[in-house]
């Protein structure tokens, strides 16, 4: 139950934007994917794809042109960890059998129901924590 690297890079980027937003007297400016990657020591290509994904889901806004980049447009208090993981990974399911009903063991498996129950509890936990809370714990 680890966060994958793309989710980690998304959190790094969102933390970067969050810190920019909380600096007094600053006007929210755009930040390039390259700058985010350099600031967080993350791979530029993967960081750029993560930022594009966050932009396509309305968390960031991409601005094009000479001084283009990304800026935060969604309140991170309204983005749950569940939302973020689903945006980046496409799923928060703990086991493949929950979403992929083609498992060879499914008909004989005795833990499908307990795993589904655990999955619901973990998802509810992820839904209860905002990305902003993660940064300020």
For residue 25, pLDDT beyond 60: no
The total number of structural domains in the chain stands at: 1
Read off the pLDDT band of 130 (50, 70, 90): very high
CATH number of the domain bearing residue 115:
1.10.10.10
DSSP code, position 92? -
Distance CA 115, CA 133 (A): 27
DSSP code, position 59? S
Question: What is the per-residue pLDDT for 93?
Answer: 83
Question: What is the per-residue pLDDT for 106?
Answer: 73
- What is the average per-residue pLDDT within 65-76? 90
Name which of 93, 91, 88 is nearest 13 in CA terms. 88
Distance CA 33, CA 13 (A): 9
Most confident of 23-37, 40-54, 57-71, 109-123: 40-54
- What is the average per-residue pLDDT within 68-88? 95
Owning domain of residue 46? 5-135
Could you write out the DSSP letters of every residue in 63-89?
Answer: E-STT-EEEE-S-GGG-BHHHHHHHHH
Distance CA 63, CA 103 (A): 44
Q: Which residue has the higher pLDDT, 15 or 95?
A: 15
For residue 59, pLDDT beyond 90: yes
């Amino acid at each position: 139950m680890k966060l994958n690297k793309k989710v980690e890079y998304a959190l790094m980027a969102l933390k970067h934007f969050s810190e920019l937003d909380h600096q007094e007297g600053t006007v929210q400016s755009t930040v390039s994917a390259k700058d985010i990657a350099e600031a967080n020591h993350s791979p530029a290509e993967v960081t750029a794809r993560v930022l594009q994904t966050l932009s396509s889901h309305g968390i960031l806004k991409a601005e094009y042109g000479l001084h283009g980049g990304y800026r935060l447009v969604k309140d991170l208090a309204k983005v749950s960890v569940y939302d973020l993981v689903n945006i980046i990974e496409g799923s928060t399911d703990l086991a493949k059998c929950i979403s992929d009903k083609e498992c060879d063991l499914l008909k004989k498996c005795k833990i499908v129901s307990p795993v589904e129950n655990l999955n619901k509890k973990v998802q509810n936990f992820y839904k209860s924590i905002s990305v902003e809370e993660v940064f300020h714990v």
